[in-house]
Each structure stands twice: as C-alpha cells, then as structure tokens.
C-alpha cells in the first residue's frame, strides 16, 4: 500500500515537472522572480558568514557620493560635476 502511494506520488511529480519548470521560467522572464528572499533569511541563521559577505558585497555596490565640505571650492570642472571617489582602504 505505502509503496504504491509513493510510486503514484513520484509519477505525479514527474508528470508535472515540465509544467512547473515552464511556470518558473515564465515568472523569471516577467521579472517577478521566485521566493529567493526566504533563502536569504535562512542564510543569516545557518550560514552567518555568507550573510556577512553578502552584506559587504551590497555595501560596496552602493557607494554614496562624498558630501561637500565648506571651503572645498566646489566640484565643477568646465561646467561638469566631478565626483572623486576615494580609494577603498
């Protein structure tokens, strides 16, 4: 009985696999993506070093522009705004 139920469940999954994959691919192409946010939440618990590395990577991607200080003379050169990013230390 139990073996027959397992075989039936496996057959149903094998039959539905192409449709599930097609639906997932369509959602990715539409920009909706999948539930990847759940995995990143679990990373913080089970792999904290991976979460820290991901946070550092995101911080490096989003460098803020340096704020002007009084007396620095502005950042205009020949009518163009120039932002000089200091080297990472």
pLDDT tens-place values along the chain, 89 residues long: 888 999 999 998 888 888 888 888 888 777 665 555 555 666 677 777 877 888 888 888 877 777 777 766 667 778 787 777 777 76
- What is the model's pLDDT at position 57? 85
Number of domains in the chain: 1
Identify whether 66 is part of a domain: no
Q: Is residue 14 part of a domain?
A: yes
* 21: containing domain: 2-58
Is residue 48 in a domain?
yes
Is 75 among the domain residues? no
User: Mapping DSSP to helix (H, G, I), strand (E, B) and coil, where does residue 80 land?
Assistant: strand
Contact 76, 82 (CB under 8 A): yes
SS3 of 16, please?
helix
pLDDT (0 to 100) of residue 24: 81
**Residue 68: inside a domain, yes or no?**
no
Q: How many residues does the chain have?
A: 89
Contact 13, 21 (CB under 8 A): no
Q: What is the pTM of this model?
A: 0.31
Task: Answer whether residue 29 is part of any domain.
Answer: yes
Does 70 reside within a domain? Answer: no
Residue 69 lies in a domain: no
């Amino acid at each position: 009985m139990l073996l027959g139920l397992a075989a039936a469940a496996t057959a149903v999954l094998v039959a539905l696999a192409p449709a599930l994959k097609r639906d997932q691919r369509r959602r990715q192409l539409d920009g909706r993506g999948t539930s990847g946010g759940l995995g990143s939440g679990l990373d913080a618990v089970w792999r904290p070093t991976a979460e820290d590395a991901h946070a550092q990577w995101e911080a490096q991607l989003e460098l803020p522009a340096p704020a002007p200080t009084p007396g620095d003379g502005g950042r205009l050169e020949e009518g163009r705004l120039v932002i000089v990013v200091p080297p990472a230390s």
